[in-house]
Amino acid sequence: MQTTGKKSSFTQRWKWNKRAHLRWLWNAGLRFAYKAFMHLEVNGLQNVPPTGPVIVMINHVNFFDPVVVLAALGRPITPMAKVEAFEEPLIRQLVMTYGAIPVHRGTVDTSAIRAATEVLNGGGMILISPEGTRSRTGGLIKGQEGLAYLATRTNATVLPVGIVGTPQLAPMLKRLRRARISFTIGPGFEMNSDGKPNREQLHQLTEDAMRRLAALLPESMRGEYK
């Protein structure tokens, strides 16, 4: 799920449902789906901090990338979702009742920043795709500075998660077979800066984070960060 990137064509401001009253039910369904429809391999689970604010950063090449992570880390996660997901009738109820934070891409979405900051300041976890949009090449594209802005603002731990195999999920399901999907959780790290970072510093922090994410992926999926 994304933070910044291609500008949204929608203007309605969807409210964040911080209660997330059905998240537990969706997570139970996701855990069932992991076993029923996937051969899911999780590596590095020991790197997930048991407490404290965490920003989970993922690569994003397929709709299912956030889905395979949300219920698999052992802690509640609040995803950040593009506002288009809230406009889509088939997805709207999922993202709203899960408690996803709506994000208008291509702008400085102060409402999304405030919501994410609230979660992190409360010691929670959020999920971000720092690329800002789904990659059409299968490899990483340039990261946006929203991740670094939130990390330096909240002193949250950044947790890189490299996901492999999700493009095969839908084709394999059509053949009534389970897809082999894996993700690797790297060591968490903090984005340290002296005082309020400027745009160039945010860019450098973002590039460092993206290289850490790339190291968790096969070379063919590292894209801009080979």
Q: Which domains does the chain have, with CATH numbers?
A: 23-216 (3.40.1130.10)
CB 163 within 8 A of CB 140: no
- Tens-binned pLDDT, residue by residue, of the chain (226 aa): 444 444 444 556 788 999 999 999 999 999 999 999 999 999 999 999 999 999 999 999 999 999 999 999 999 999 999 888 898 888 999 999 999 999 987 777 899 999 999 999 999 999 999 998 899 999 999 999 999 999 999 999 999 999 999 999 999 999 999 999 999 999 999 998 777 899 999 999 999 999 999 999 999 999 999 9
Q: Report the 10 Å Cβ neighbour count for 204.
A: 15
Q: Which residue do the tokens 């890189």 mark?
A: 160
Q: Which residue do the tokens 């369904």 mark?
A: 29
* Distance between CA atoms of residues 25 and 182, nearest Å: 23
**pTM above 0.85?**
yes
The tokens of 154 are what?
């909240």
